[in-house]
Amino acid sequence: MKSTASAKDVLVMDPIQTEKEVICDMETLSTVYRANIKGYSQFQFCPHDFTIDCGKFDLAGHRWSVYYYPNAFVLGRMVILHIRLLTYTTNSLKVDIQINLIAPNGRRLAVAERKHTYFSNNNVVVLPLIRKSILDSSEYVKEDCLSFECIMSTTKWAAPEEVKKKQQSAIPSSNSQ
């Protein structure tokens, strides 16, 4: 018996349509928070646990606070800052922090740098800045005022909706018809 089957070239279309889609993206956010401690000399002999609330700021959808300890006893008499995460987070936040003292002429002195991971709200990073005796006689305390800045940056996942908005806005529109 002779076979009647023959080989034919057949193009089979894949019914599954593939589409490349980005569903998340990383974005880096940063802020600079500046504070002035006026009447600096009145805090010379305060207790070691005395704090000054320097205010609050927002970064990456979270609320943060800065507390200044003018006379902490950490490795001798030191000036320190506490930076506290105030809002609840379900994911850890990795933060880069730099603290600069600011002289009246605008000159900056980096006194602390730290990478820190916040795991929950009320998590605190303690930043020893400078020995009190050195600060008191420095150019950074003038006219009974101390100024500093806190530079913070963090990287977080962007929501899929935000990524899609960025992609759509990045596509140039065509005027051709």
The mean pLDDT value for 56-85 works out to: 85
The mean pLDDT value for 109-117 works out to: 90
pLDDT score recorded for residue 120: 72
pLDDT digits (tens, 9 = 90+) for 116-166: 888 776 678 888 888 888 888 899 998 889 999 999 998 876 666 655 555
pLDDT at 2 over 60: no
More confident residue, 174 or 126: 126
* Separation of alpha carbons 146 and 140, rounded Å: 6
DSSP for 37-62, please give it. Answer: EESGGGGTT--TT--EEEEEEEETTE
Strand runs (DSSP E) across 60-144, as ranges?
A: 62-73, 77-85, 93-102, 108-118, 124-131, 141-142
The answer to whether residues 134 and 40 touch, using CB atoms and an 8 Å cutoff, is no
pLDDT score recorded for residue 171: 45
Strand runs (DSSP E) across 103-161, as ranges?
A: 108-118, 124-131, 141-142, 145-158
Quick one: tokens of 100?
Answer: 């600069």
Domains of the chain: residue spans and CATH: 27-155 (2.60.210.10)
pLDDT at 20 over 60: no
Strand partners, 98: 113, 151
With tokens 């420095």, the residue in question is: 138
pLDDT score recorded for residue 133: 85
pLDDT score recorded for residue 30: 93
Share of residues in the chain with pLDDT > 90 (%): 28
More confident residue, 59 or 1: 59
* Separation of alpha carbons 56 and 44, rounded Å: 24
Long-range CB contacts (< 8 A, 24+ apart) of 167-170?
167/22
The answer to whether residues 67 and 84 touch, using CB atoms and an 8 Å cutoff, is yes
pLDDT at 176 over 50: no
